[in-house]
């Protein structure tokens, strides 16, 4: 298909989307780049002028940067591992002939509908609070000392909250993929004498590869920018123990009012995201063609 005319039309049709996204991407990015080379602080208006690489050296040289970078990776990978392994197992379970499958699906998907600040508040006050949180009560019931989660295991606690929000997403996509595996394919595999484990490795996993790729892609997009959960619970602390890159930039730029350094951090964040993006897009692009 496609005559010269439809090609022209298709360019016109794509133009609004392409133009707004281009503007959305380029204008702020250029401004961020510009600020990142300036001395620009809202607290100290005397500090102006070209900063050279100063802001970058300041941001990257700070130990908090390395820690935030590591935290970002742990956060993204931790949540991905939990949701994909957990999601696969849960999907396999929900795919069994069980009673109340319809209601179960509704119950399982529910956390996905909960907005991040609410999710964080529930976990923080209702569950992980050492004084009156449910986990505290549970620990006491077993005669244990309640854990002060956000002080003792800040990053782990954030991972738990985020994983709770994204587990339903992974589970339901993987479940849908499982259910699209035709009964015939399974039966054929059974006829060929494959046992449950072989069936999982040779039939089910390859079939799900595409869905898992999509889950990784979508989740990574959102996980790189995790913000509200940290702000509401630990505020990035104690120290920088639960600060990721996104939150570090927020801390530097907005909380400390150092626009120059914040922007430099922003540029670094964009670069990191792009490295991840290129890497992921390659993988997904290949998988989508199939």
Partner 1 sequence: MARTVPTSTRIGFTALAWIIALLLFSPILWVLLTAFKTEAEAIAASPTFLPQNFTLENFAAVQDRSDYFKHAFNSIIVSVGSTLLGLAIGIPAAWAMAFAPTKRTKDVLMWMLSTKMMPAVGVLIPIYLIFRDLRLLDTVHGLTLIMTLINLPIIIWMLYTYFKEIPVDILEAARMDGAELWNEIVHVLVPMAVPGIASTLLLNVILAWNEAFWTITLTSGRAGTLTAFISSFSSPQGLFLAKLSAASLLAIAPILLMGWFSQKQLVRGLTFGAVK
Partner 2 sequence: MGSISLQHVKKSFGEVQIIPDISLDIKDGEFVVFVGPSGCGKSTLLRLIAGLEDTTSGQILLDGEDMTKAPPARRGLAMVFQSYALYPHMSVRDNIAFPLKMAKAPKALIDQKVEYAARTLNLSSYLDRRPRALSGGQRQRVAIGRAIVREPKAFLFDEPLSNLDAALRVNMRLEITELHQQLKTTMIYVTHDQVEAMTMADRIVVLNAGNVEQFGSPLDLYKKPANRFVAGFIGSPKMNFIDGPEAAKHNAHSIGVRPEHFKLATTATSGTWKGKVGVAEQLGSDTFLHVHVEGLGLMTIRTDGDQTFNHGDDVYLTPDPTRIYRFDASGVAI
Question: C-beta of 18: minimal distance to partner 2 in Å?
Answer: 24
8 Å CB contact between 161 and 79:
no
Supply the minimum distance, in Å, between the C-beta of residue 4 and partner 2.
5
Q: Which residues pair with 258 in a beta bridge?
A: 41
Residue 37 backbone dihedrals phi, psi, to 5 degrees? -105, 10
Query: What contacts 24+ positions apart, CB below 8 Å, involve 122-130?
Result: 123/157, 123/160, 123/161, 123/164, 123/233, 124/150, 124/232, 124/233, 128/157
Positions 50 through 79 that interact with partner 1 (CB under 8 A): none
Q: Tell me the per-residue interface mask from 22 to 51 with partner 1, x by CB under 8 A, - otherwise.
A: --xx-xxx-xx--x----------------
SS3 47: coil
| Residue 81 interacting with partner 1 (CB under 8 A) | no
| Residue of the chain from 46, 99, 145, 191 that contacts partner 1 (CB under 8 A) | 99
Per the CB < 8 A criterion, the answer to whether 227 and 158 are in contact is no
Retrieve residue 148's tokens.
């002060």
Closer Cβ to partner 1, 126 or 238, answer by number: 126
Q: Residue 4 or residue 141: which is nearer to partner 2 going by CB?
A: 4
Tell me if 12 contacts partner 2 by CB under 8 A.
Answer: no
Integer Cα distance of 222 and 266 in angstroms: 16
**Pick from partner 1, partner 2, none: which does 117 bind, CB < 5 to 8 A by kind?**
partner 1
Helix axes 259-289, 4-36, angle to 10 degrees: 150
| Minimum CB distance to partner 1, residue 57 (Å) | 19
Q: Which does 4 bind (CB under 5 to 8 A by kind): partner 2, partner 1, none?
A: partner 2
The residue count for binding partner 1 (CB under 8 A) is 106
Shortest CB 32 distance to partner 1, Å: 6
Q: Residue 289 class from Cβ within 10 Å (0-12 exposed, 13-18 middle, 19+ buried)?
A: exposed
- Residue 4 binding partner 2, by CB under 8 A: yes
Is 5 near partner 2 (CB under 8 A)?
Answer: yes
> Which residues of the shown chain bind partner 2 in the complex (CB under 8 A)?
1-5
């Amino acid at each position: 298909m496609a005559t010269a005319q439809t090609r022209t039309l298709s360019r016109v049709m794509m133009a609004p989307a392409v133009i707004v996204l281009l503007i959305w991407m380029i204008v702020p990015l250029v401004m961020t780049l510009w600020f990142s080379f300036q001395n620009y602080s809202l607290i100290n208006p005397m500090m102006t002028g070209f900063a050279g690489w100063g802001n970058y050296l300041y941001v990257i040289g700070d130990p908090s940067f390395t820690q935030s970078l590591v935290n970002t990776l742990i956060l993204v990978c931790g949540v991905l591992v939990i949701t994909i392994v957990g999601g696969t197992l849960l999907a396999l379970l929900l795919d069994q002939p069980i009673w109340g499958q319809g209601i179960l699906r509704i119950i399982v998907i529910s956390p996905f509908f909960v907005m991040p600040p609410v999710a964080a508040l529930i976990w923080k006050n209702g569950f992980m609070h050492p004084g009156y949180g449910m986990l505290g009560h549970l620990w006491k019931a077993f005669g244990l000392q309640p854990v002060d989660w956000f002080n003792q295991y800040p990053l782990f606690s954030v991972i738990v909250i985020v994983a709770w929000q994204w587990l339903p997403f992974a589970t339901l996509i993987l479940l849908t993929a499982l259910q699209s595996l035709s009964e015939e394919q399974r039966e054929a595999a059974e006829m060929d004498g494959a046992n449950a484990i072989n069936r999982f490795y040779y039939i089910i996993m390859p079939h799900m590869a595409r869905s898992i790729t999509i889950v990784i892609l979508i989740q990574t997009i959102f996980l790189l920018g995790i913000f509200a959960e940290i702000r509401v619970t630990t505020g990035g602390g104690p120290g920088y123990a639960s600060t990721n890159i996104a939150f570090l930039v927020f801390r530097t730029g907005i909380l400390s009012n150092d626009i120059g350094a914040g922007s430099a951090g922003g540029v670094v964040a964009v670069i990191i995201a792009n490295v991840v993006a290129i890497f992921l897009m390659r993988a997904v692009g290949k998988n989508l063609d199939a």
